[in-house]
Amino acid sequence: MQSTSPHGLIKISDAEFKSVADFVYGRYGIDLSKKRQLVEGRLSQTIRERGLGSFDEYMQLLRNDREGDEITHFLNRITTNHSYFARELKHFEFLMDHALPFLEKNRSRELRIWSAGCSAGQEAYNIAMVMDQYFGSRKSQWDTRILATDISINVLDKARQAVYAEDNIKDLPPAWKSKYLNKLPDGTVQVNETIRKEVIFKIFNLMDPFVYKKPFDIIFCRNVMIYFDQETRDALVDKFFKATANDGFFMIGHSEVLDRERSGYKFLRPSIFQKSNTPLVI
């Protein structure tokens, strides 16, 4: 019989933990090697709900999941999807003050933008608001729609609904709240239709090959690579570099580090990089 902790958690054996960690790393590049308590804590209830008795039985369920529903639930449980508007504000200030003026001069009516690991959509909608603010009356002349991707169907569903609690928007300027958000009867807010139409949400695993018609002018991948080990991060940055257009920009989380020597990107500011032989002078 499977042992349980004093708190009612189903205990995970060394072999079971290795099985879970290897499965997640192999499929999604996520490093759980130091997350044993997280795995045990977040999956114990799921195992009970499924009427199973051990992590081994749960892994069999995952490996036999043909429809993808159980995998989706699993990913939702082990990944943390915490975000809010104006998070790491300096990126949006840089976008407004430096990146967009530069790109407007060097692009022809189209900007290709990717929010990778978009969580519940705050980042992507925030970018769309910046685009609207910057271009103003010129916006109709430009295609600045944003591709937003994540591995979690659950958070993408929330992103498409674009409904957020008040504390999610506390850092937005009051004028932006009035312009871009609609208050709902229950006290939440919803991003207005104009901004929602600017974002295209798709499920995507960053470990899969990148397929795109044209490279991207702006890529946000913030607070995503913290889940990966160094080898996986290096391989992922290589893929992002190839997917970045010449003179395009790449932004990572403030707590993340990029190996400048091997990445090919040029450093502009902490967590802000450019693919260019003659990078933007700020």
Spatial CA neighbour of 184 closest among 160, 159, 158, 166:
166
- CB of 243 within 8 A of CB of 237? no
Bridge pairing between strands 199-203 and 244-252: unpaired
Among residues 27, 36, 42, 160, which one is catalytic? 42
Residues recorded for the chain: 282
DSSP H helical segments within the chain, as ranges? Answer: 14-28, 36-49, 55-63, 69-78, 89-94, 100-106, 122-135, 153-161, 174-180, 193-196, 230-243, 260-263
Query: Could you count the other beta carbons within 10 Å of the beta carbon of residue 188?
Result: 16
Burial grade of 209 (CB within 10 A; 0-12, 13-18, 19 or more): exposed
Amino acid at 271: S
Q: What tokens appear for 51 in the block?
A: 């009427």
Residue 2 in contact with residue 53, Cβ under 8 Å?
yes
Number of H helices, E strands in the chain: 12, 10
Neighbours of 172 (CB within 10 A): 21
Q: Please, are residues 129 and 95 in contact by the beta-carbon 8 Å criterion?
A: no
**Are residues 263 and 241 in contact, defined by beta-carbon separation less than 8 angstroms?**
yes
Contact (CB, 8 A) for 36 and 43: no
Contact 186, 153 (CB under 8 A): no
Would residue 150 show up in a list of annotated catalytic residues for this protein? yes
| Active-site choice (31, 87, 112, 150) | 150
Active site residues: 42, 150
